Each structure stands twice: as structure tokens, then as C-alpha cells.
Amino acid sequence: MSHAADLEALLGLSNVTYKHNLDKAALFQEAIENDRGRVREGGPRDEQKCYGTALGVEGPLVYYTDPGSTGRRVKDTFAAAYPEYEDSVWWKNDFQRYDPEKYEGLLARVVEHLNQKGGHLYVQDVFAGSDPAYAVPFRFVGEYAVHALFVNTMFPKGLEGVPEDRRFTLLNCPSFFCDSERDGCREGSDNALIVDLKRRIALICGPNDYCGSNKKTLFTVLNYMLPDMGYLPMHCSANVGEDGDSAILFGLSGTGKTTLSADPARELIGDDEIGWTDDAISNFEDGCYAKLIDLDKDAEPVIAAALSMPCTVIENVPPLPGKPMGETDPQDLDLTDGSITENTRFAYGLDCNPVVRDGARGPVPSTIVLLTADAFGVLPPVSLLEQDEVMYHFVSGFTAKLAGTEVGVTEPKAAFSACFGAPFMARHPSVYAELLAKKMKACNARAILLNTGWSGGPYGVGKRISIGHTRALLNASLRGDLDSVETEKHPVFGLRMPTSCPGVPPEILNPRNTWQDKDAYDRQASELRDLFHKNFADKGLAELGIAAVM
């Protein structure tokens, strides 16, 4: 069946034409010529959204989202709550129930809108996942060429042996504006993102046009589907050493997941979304979607170089004052300018990285790293974890927000996100924790908690642990140097801390040593421990079978 016949049978689209699997250069030009919508608060809905730079098609496409969609609209993210999925989905504030009848009515109205509008839609046939063992054929259907270009950049293509009955179709229609009373979306909202697990459809409608919504929707789908295959989906980065030893690094934003996995001595598998089958780990994606705000080009040379590569996508970086984008070299863009959003983004192909693992796949991991950035300054720089401790810290997903990152935050604030990616985890945390425990045991992987945060005091008093020391601790762990070293037990957290590590001053390995005021350290450590306890109780983690190890 052709894609046109398939889409008519699945969705009812009948009065549209398709621009199917255009290459990146063609999509680049189409986006500049055809993508129209709102790009500024109160502005018209027919403004140009995409621009080339002085490099033309040999450089990046610069795209501006709707001003209300400069990031994921988590309050407008749903799943159709069919009865057969009621118990298996992890319902929460950023993945809420949507009435199935309301959803079906909304989908029909969106299709009717597109049929009446006529014209063309962009279709890209790619895969979510690089391993045929679990990969999902992914068909993007949408109004914006820039979204098709983003999907082409971010997802694998040309896989063989993937069953067609896994296919997921995403319909992206920014020109249809929802009515909350009629359509059942959030009160006062004009948009919705709804995942239909029953029919394998995702619907994005209204000005919900942030590129990352396409990517994270498919991540959520894989997070639901893979456990039924016995495989573990993970929000982590991964790489492989010269000896064929794989490592996975879990972590929330700002903990070093991308930076630490980019190591010239190790081949990169991926920096954000990874799957673990019985005998391999692999990237869900074929690209990277990096934050650009305040990018240090010396510290992040790969991203800096990719800014000038053909048909990559720069999102919401403002033009230079008084200079047309078409006359601007992308290297001259002001990456400190957050006037549109602090969440400026950049999508580029995985092949922009200089050292990438062939096929973005590697063997099962020898080392599991849980990353945290403790801005309270009390967790050890590295801790050696037993399996029960891995489960506890995995489902806790702790890091700390810094003062000044949110209005009203004047001191470090604890953040807990189960499985280091709760918004995208479509099943209950215990599902992923049990799979992780089973797979860890099967491959006898070591595990560490690596703190990339502060030492000598909290943020504003102490200093961030140097990247040199963090890399030394990570590399020692990957080599197995810490497997049999002498340890001491932290009196508050119960964590095992090594007393020595090559290239790291021994006095910093116990964080209490780095504080001048030892009583203040003890109080702060106890306060953080109590926050862990509260999160454990509030989330009902004991009822999920997680041992209270702290």
C-alpha cells in the first residue's frame, strides 16, 4: 500500500498531496518558502518562520517557534485513556488522561480541516531506534517542512527487517486551533499533544510547534513499547572504550550526560536516548538536539563546528541587531542571547561527532553511571553502588536546581525525576527499575553515583567539582580501578566512598573534609537526606518494591 493510500485508510486524509521523503536540501528550501505562522507575541499567524544564513543550503536553517511553544508544553501532553491502557500507563501531570471520545472527535476535525484546506503535507519515513530488534517505523506527516527536516536529521533511516505492524504515525497540524470546551483539551488552551497507543497515532495540533515535541513523543512511545519486548528504554548517554567496554550515563539536564559521554578516547553511541536489549545497547536516534544558550565553543567544539554544517536546524536564536539572517555567518550568532527563550536549541546529525560507534550500537554495559549535580555540596564526588542502591537512586533521579534558574529560587532546590526522565516514562518507575536490575545482574555491571556538583559548600559558597577531577573519577571507574579500593561509609547517606583515586586529591573524596564548618555540613547533609526520604514516601516507592537504602 502506498503512503497516500495508507494515510487515507488510517486517518481519512483524502484531499491533500504529499511531499514524500524529500532530502534535506529540498526541505531546507521548502521551509523558507512555505512555513508560516506566529513568531512573536501578538504577531500575525502568517509570518516567515525559517531563514537561511550567509552559508545558504550549505549551512543551518534558523527556525522560530510560536512564542508560546519555545519548549515542550507539558501541561498539554496527554494519552488517549482507552480502558485497556488504564492500568499500564503511568498517569501524571505531564502525561494526563484524554477522553477517548473527545480525542477521536478532535482527530476527525483535524483531518477534516486538512482536507478542506487542501494543499500539501510533508511525509518522512524514518525509524525510532537503530536496532531492528525493537525499532519502530515512524511516519511523520505534517504541515511544516522544518519539522520534516528535523525528523530527517534526528532519526535513523534505511533499517531492514523491522516489522511494519509496529509503525507509529505522527500527524502534526499547527494550523488547527483547538477549542477546549468542544475538543476536551486543557481549559483555555488552543493546542494538544495526544498519544494514541491503541491505533499507534500521535496527534500534535495547534501552535505546539517546538521541534523537540516530535522527538520526545517518539521517546515516550518507545518507553511504553520496549518493556513488553523485555528491553529497557533509557534517558541516558552511552559510549564504548577501546577495549569494547560500554558505559551508560543517566542524568538530568545540567549533570554532564552529553559532555562526559563525548570523549575522544571512546566511541559515542548516543547522548540522550538509548535502548538495552538482551545483547546490546543502541541509540534511538541518528542526531543530537543540544542546548545552545551560553555555549562555550572551546569546551564544546563538536557543537560549534556543526553550527556551520549543511541543513542542521537552529531553533529560536535571535538575529543579530540590524543584520539580516541571510547575511549572517552562523558562527557570529550571539549564543548568549536568551531574549526569545533560554531554551535555544540545535539539531544536528550524529555524524557531526568525530568519533561515533558504527551503527550507533555497542555491547551491554560494563559500567552504569548515575549522574547528579548536587548544588547543596554534600554528596560524595563518587560513590560505589550495590544493586539495591542503584534501584533507589535510579527511581529517585535526584539533582538540584540552582539559585537564579527560576523566579523565586534563591538557594539550591532539590529536583527528583524518576528514572532520570519522568515526563517521558509512560509506565510506572518500577517497570524500568526491575528491568535495569535484571539486566545489571545478567552482565555483572558495576555502578557508581557520580556527583558533578559542588564541593566545599553549597552553590554560592563552595566551588563546582572540577571537570578534570570528574573525568578522572569517571575514567577510573570505567577502567575498574575503583572495584577493589578501600572505602569508607558516609555516616548520613550510607554511600561507599573510595579513599583514593588516581589523579584526584584524596581529601575531596569525603565531602565533609572540604567544608570549613563541619557542623554546617552535617546539617546540610541531614536536610538533603530528609528530602530523599520525603520524595521516597510521597512517590510511594516502597509500594513499588524499592528498598529504602538511605
Q: Which domains can be identified in the chain, with CATH numbers?
A: 3-49+71-229 (3.40.449.10), 232-276+364-544 (3.90.228.20), 289-352 (2.170.8.10)
Each residue of 58-72: b (16+ CB within 10 Å) or e?
A: ebbbbbbbbbbbbeb
Please report the pLDDT score of residue 407 as a whole number. Answer: 39
Single out the catalytic residue among 38, 49, 72, 361: 72
CA angle 524/530/531 to nearest 5° reads: 90
Is residue 268 a contact partner of residue 353, using CB atoms and an 8 Å limit?
yes
Is residue 105 a contact partner of residue 181, using CB atoms and an 8 Å limit?
no
Please report the pLDDT score of residue 403 as a whole number. Answer: 47
- 386-417: per-residue pLDDT in tens? 999 999 999 999 998 764 444 344 567 899 99
Please report the pLDDT score of residue 395 as a whole number. Answer: 95
Please report the pLDDT score of residue 254 as a whole number. Answer: 80
Single out the catalytic residue among 53, 217, 258, 367: 258
Single out the catalytic residue among 35, 76, 272, 374: 272
Residues 6+ apart with CB under 8 A from 527: 376
Closest CA to 145 of 61, 248, 229: 61
Please report the pLDDT score of residue 408 as a whole number. Answer: 46
Q: Report, in this order, helix, strand and coil percent for the chain, each rounded to 5.
A: 35, 25, 45
Please report the pLDDT score of residue 1 as a whole number. Answer: 65
| Weakest-pLDDT range from 73-77, 131-135, 219-223, 410-414 | 410-414
Please report the pLDDT score of residue 405 as a whole number. Answer: 41
Please report the pLDDT score of residue 76 as a whole number. Answer: 95
Single out the catalytic residue among 345, 393, 401, 496: 345
Please report the pLDDT score of residue 357 as a whole number. Answer: 93
Mean pLDDT along residues 414-438: 93
* Helix axes 145-154 and 211-229, enclosed angle (nearest 10): 40
Please report the pLDDT score of residue 19 as a whole number. Answer: 97
Single out the catalytic residue among 147, 200, 215, 216: 216
Amino acid at 432: Y
Mean pLDDT along residues 237-241: 96
CB atoms within 10 A of CB 365: 25
Q: Is 358 annotated in the active site?
A: no
Q: Is 253 annotated in the active site?
A: yes
Q: Is 272 annotated in the active site?
A: yes
CB atoms within 10 A of CB 269: 27
- In the predicted structure, residue 218 carries a pLDDT above the cut 70: yes
C-alpha separations of 418 from 74, 76, 353, 382 in Å: 16, 20, 29, 20
Is residue 95 a contact partner of residue 77, using CB atoms and an 8 Å limit?
yes
Mean pLDDT of the chain, nearest integer: 94
What is the reported pTM?
0.93
Mean pLDDT along residues 80-93: 96
Q: Is 216 annotated in the active site?
A: yes
Q: Is 463 annotated in the active site?
A: no
| Weakest-pLDDT range from 156-170, 350-364, 368-382, 405-419 | 405-419
Q: Is 372 annotated in the active site?
A: no
What gap in Å lies between CA 370 and CA 394, rounded to an integer? 7
Mean pLDDT along residues 294-319: 93
Which residue has 494515510 as its cell numbers? 7
Please report the pLDDT score of residue 402 as a whole number. Answer: 63
Sign of CA dihedral 46, 50, 53, 57: negative
Single out the catalytic residue among 38, 49, 147, 257: 257
Q: How confident is the model at residue 302 (pLDDT cuts 50, 70, 90)?
A: confident
Cell of 373: 549535580
Each residue of 207-219: b (16+ CB within 10 Å) or e?
A: bbbbbbbbbbbbb
- 179-205: per-residue pLDDT in tens? 999 999 999 999 999 999 999 999 999
- In the predicted structure, residue 125 carries a pLDDT above the cut 50: yes
Mean pLDDT along residues 155-182: 95
Mean pLDDT along residues 243-272: 90
Q: Which residue has the higher pLDDT, 1 or 486?
A: 486
CA angle 522/417/433 to nearest 5° reads: 100
Single out the catalytic residue among 253, 308, 466, 500: 253
- In the predicted structure, residue 379 carries a pLDDT above the cut 60: yes
| Weakest-pLDDT range from 146-155, 378-387, 405-414 | 405-414
